[in-house]
Structure 1
Amino acid sequence: MLWTRRHFIKSASALTLSAATPAFVRPVLAEDGFLEITAGPSRQRLYQEEGALSDLWTYNGFAPGPEIRVTRGERVRVRFVNNLEEPSSIHWHGIRIDNAMDGVSGLTQEAVPPGASFDYDFTVPDAGTYWYHAHNKSWNQVARGLYGPLIVDEEEAAFDREHDLTLVADDWRLSEDETLDTASMGSLMEWAHAGRLGNWLTVNGLPHPKFSLKKGEAYRLRLVNASNARILELDPNRFGGRIIAYDGQALGRAETLTYAPFLLGPAQRVDLIVVPESDFALEELSGDSPFEFATFKVSGNGTASGEPVLPAPNAIPEPDLPNARRVRLDMTGGAMGNLENITYQGRKLAREDFRKTRQVWAFNGVANLGDDPLFAAKPGETILIEVLNNTSWAHAMHVHGHHFKVVKRSGAQADADPPWRDTFLIGSGQTVEIASVADNSGKWLFHCHMLEHAAAGMTSWFEVA
């Protein structure tokens, strides 16, 4: 039996941890200067400090894996070693990276076999909050713990390390014995509905961690949603948090939200500035009452005077909207949706095919990486993609290798100055238009980051050549 929301809230209220500020495991530095990130099985407590150990797949023995921290413009060299029982690869989410280093199995590289390794070598052009995760059978490998943060600092960092906190949130599906439920992974019902939703939240791999802050000093909180499918409902106004970056892209200002809740979809990130005066908590608000999943203990009197200079936006080319080329993407399929006219591997699927192929979603009638790209763009061309969600479920759409702006959203007023994003949420029945400049050559993935949806057909690609 899976726990109910009441179990979820009641159990968490009794948990405390001795660690004040959870730390990430360290990457291993090889003799040739590469950071070694090793994927393999490990055991980790998810539910409580002295509880049962779950069998996970992790990077360097813990989930999340090592925090990779570099400076904008710096070269990143990572040797991925695969000690798993199945092939894998690493995708560097949100980085405008060289295409050959993007880590997408079957599109930009072959998956790394068990016992083998692959060297990733790239330069990071933009400061911000990013992350890395497995990109082969992601619905399985990410759910077991294969992810970690990638932080790119500005040349003159606005916050020192003591005041710059990375918070990687994940929801896990736990069984009654407090261990990760792996038996339910791959359920076709999950794939055709909302995706894999957990019943337990951790931050930096720990249940209900506590962080120690100083009163009156400014902190940067970098929130990463590493969940397979859960949309976190938050309200930064409850503790005076203001947004300074979306998906790693700095606004150049601190923005106070005028609505609640704030939705942080799978793979999305948000950076907050907080000047605490008293204890506060991160709370998930989708249930009947707020659920605290991380607490911040505030003590003493801060010594900082005023707020730091906020990070400036990255230099990303602005879309030329009057001359943009329009591309249409029609989402169909899923439970309670239109399963007619879905083509997979060149063949139209009949009703009896869906259980065998497990392909139940489609983009423009095609499931899962058709032979032809969604579009082919010339370098420097502005592309405007109109996305229509003709399904019964919300989706978190991620564009590889590029950043974009949401220029239109049905049922909502368009932002006068929309922020740069690499992942956007689209509700059932909604239409969203995004625009970007195709300035990164190669074949790039465009997919739903509800990872079960991607595996079940919501994956396409485009080419810049």
Structure 2
Amino acid sequence: MAYTTRRSFMAQSTALTAALLMPGRGRAQGDLPVLRAMPATAQLAPQGYPGTEVWAYGISGPGTVPGPEIRVTAGEAVRFRLQNDLPQATAVHWHGIRIDNAMDGAAPLTQAAVVPGDHFDYDFVAPDPGTYWYHSHNRSFEQVARGLSGPLIVEDATPWAGEVGSAARDLTLVLDDWLLDSDAAIVNDRWDDLHAAAHAGRLGNTVTVNGAAWPEFSLRPSERIRLRLINTATARVMSLALPELGARLIAVDGHPVAPRSAETLVLAPAQRADVVIDAPTATEQRGALLFDPGNGQWVDIAGFLTKGDAATATTADLRALPAWPGWQAPDLTQPQDEVLVMEGGAMRGLEKATYQGRTMDFRELVSHGMAWTFNGVAHGMAEPMFSARQGRTVRMKIENRTRFAHAVHLHGHHFQVLTDPHRDIRDTVLIAPDQSAEIAFVADNPGRWMIHCHMLGHQVSGMMGWFSVA
């Protein structure tokens, strides 16, 4: 597989409710660890470039990009006090967790955003093992792009790591896409750029892995490693490859899958993939994580160097992850059928749509910063798209009638992708232009839940709604 050099890539790319909960009213009692949202500096560009001013999360220390990795075991509580030291209001969404509605962090639907200087207490149980993440959910198109995200790892209650055929250890790789100027500063005067929002979104020119350009990770010869890949970009679909490492997929969006080949992967914004690789048997051999920026030229964004004493080679077949004990498969005998039609954007536009209770033509919609719709409604937060009785199976056809891909995310639930040949269980589904997908889920989590495109410029310019479960 041919790919360009690191330096040539840099040269090319840089031409560089439930009732609303008010801040401070969370349910947790007593002393909590503080998750602080604050300004910080990160070395996103290679050494030799200045550090980049970012917004970041920190726990008992300065903010880092990505935010500190939070690890719990399935069934344990995640308990943090969010302290807002930013100049904007903010909130934290715990992406992919089947969570109590009041703890979802989906401002303004499930809580009021936390104003500067104030705090909010998050206290919830993480029921399902897997790879998740946390990120801002207020002005997320800006705040996530400035750095407000981090990994949330829920370990298996049933042993897997270290068992016969499993991985010896795991490594979290947070992938991000930054729009930087020639001085490695975030381009911050185009947050309301409707032209970008009406196209593919705010695409960057610098890709980082764990907050660094081209990091290198050490593997022991013959070592079997679980990679937890998380796409935290606000718009960039990540096409990835792991050649010559025997990569096999074992989970998507946190949910286990039967192990299958994964030399190449496509991760939409917010999607995750757990992949097992086997290190080469000899020392000083180098593997790579490759990325296609969209021109078919694979570039190296992270390296894996084998060195040190050899691990005991694993000859057993790859061990599948334990099944989720609390997952209820949808019953498709008599589902509640819903349709989500996505329209608008550049090169298609809208003749008319509803926004804030009024029917508007495309020109007037654009004057309000709207370019996209769900079922003919732009940013429809006044009333639910649909309501489902608790325990009901919902089957939804999602139609993409636009010229751009969209990553549709449901809060509080995982769903089965019925049109996927593997029928994977996900919380975010990527739908190509002029294509459709069919999903099904059991509406087993009561509350008011957001549904939106995770290309965050698309979300703020119309692709946002919610559904209720009661």
Q: TM-score, normalised by structure 1?
A: 0.90
**Structure 1 position 459 matched with structure 2 position 464:** yes
Spell out, residue by residue over 1:9-62, the C-alpha distance to the aligned partner (whole angstroms, 9 max, x if none): 51559xxxxxxxxxxxxxxxx994522110011112211134212111111111
How far the C-alpha of 1:92 sits from its partner, in A, is 0.2
SS of 1:250 mapped into structure 2: strand
2:215–2:303 Cα contact (<8 Å) kept? yes
Paired position in structure 1 for 2:64: 62
Paired position in structure 1 for 2:273: 270
Selected match of 1:244 from 250, 255, 261:
250
Runs of 4+ more than 4 Å apart: 5-9, 30-33
Selected match of 1:110 from 106, 109, 112:
112
Distance 1:130 1:235 in 2: 21
Paired position in structure 2 for 1:186: 192
Spell out, residue by residue over 1:92-125, the C-alpha distance to the aligned partner (whole angstroms, 9 max, x if none): 0000000000000010000000000000000011
How far the C-alpha of 1:238 sits from its partner, in A, is 4.5
1:130–1:247 Cα contact (<8 Å) kept? yes
For 1:149-298, what aligned pairs fall within 5 Å after superposition?
A: 149-159=151-161, 163-251=169-257, 253-257=258-262, 261-277=264-280, 278-285=285-292, 286-298=294-306
Q: 1:446 is matched by which residue type in structure 2?
A: I
Q: Which moved more, 1:393-402 or 1:350-359?
A: 350-359
How far the C-alpha of 1:256 sits from its partner, in A, is 1.2
- In structure 2, relative to structure 1, the CA distance for the partners of 1:254 and 1:261 (3 Å cut) is closer
For 1:379-394, what aligned pairs fall within 5 Å after superposition?
A: 379-394=390-405
How far the C-alpha of 1:207 sits from its partner, in A, is 0.9
1:344–1:370 Cα contact (<8 Å) kept? no
Selected match of 2:454 from 417, 442, 449:
449
Paired position in structure 2 for 1:364: 375
Distance 1:56 1:246 in 2: 29
1:397–1:424 Cα contact (<8 Å) kept? yes
Q: 1:97 is matched by which residue type in structure 2?
A: I
- In structure 2, relative to structure 1, the CA distance for the partners of 1:392 and 1:141 (3 Å cut) is same
Q: TM-score, normalised by structure 2?
A: 0.89
Distance 1:80 1:9 in 2: 39
Spell out, residue by residue over 1:289-313, the C-alpha distance to the aligned partner (whole angstroms, 9 max, x if none): 2111110001242125445743212
Paired position in structure 2 for 1:322: 333
Q: 2:323 is matched by which residue type in structure 1?
A: P
Q: 1:265 is matched by which residue type in structure 2?
A: A
How far the C-alpha of 1:331 sits from its partner, in A, is 0.7
Q: Which moved more, 1:287-296 or 1:205-214?
A: 287-296
How far the C-alpha of 1:182 sits from its partner, in A, is 1.3
Distance 1:6 1:419 in 2: 33
Paired position in structure 2 for 1:428: 433
Distance 1:132 1:363 in 2: 25
Distance 2:116 2:192 in 1: 21
Paired position in structure 1 for 2:150: 148
How far the C-alpha of 1:350 sits from its partner, in A, is 2.8
Distance 1:422 1:384 in 2: 14
Distance 1:359 1:64 in 2: 30
Spell out, residue by residue over 1:62-119, the C-alpha distance to the aligned partner (whole angstroms, 9 max, x if none): 1111100000000110110000111000000000000000000010000000000000
Paired position in structure 2 for 1:402: 413
Paired position in structure 1 for 2:25: none
- In structure 2, relative to structure 1, the CA distance for the partners of 1:390 and 1:79 (3 Å cut) is same
Q: 1:267 is matched by which residue type in structure 2?
A: A
1:333–1:339 Cα contact (<8 Å) kept? yes
Q: Which moved more, 1:327-336 or 1:276-285?
A: 276-285
2:92–2:135 Cα contact (<8 Å) kept? yes
Paired position in structure 2 for 1:302: 311
Paired position in structure 2 for 1:85: 87
Distance 1:106 1:305 in 2: 49
Distance 2:189 2:157 in 1: 46
1:281–1:296 Cα contact (<8 Å) kept? yes
Aligned residues: 437
Q: Which moved more, 1:262-271 or 1:299-308?
A: 299-308
Spell out, residue by residue over 1:368-410, the C-alpha distance to the aligned partner (whole angstroms, 9 max, x if none): 13422111001110001101101110000101000001112xx
How far the C-alpha of 1:366 sits from its partner, in A, is 0.5
1:444–1:462 Cα contact (<8 Å) kept? yes
Paired position in structure 2 for 1:71: 73
Distance 1:130 1:268 in 2: 9
1:208–1:295 Cα contact (<8 Å) kept? yes
Identity of aligned residues (%): 43
**Cα-Cα RMSD:** 2.2
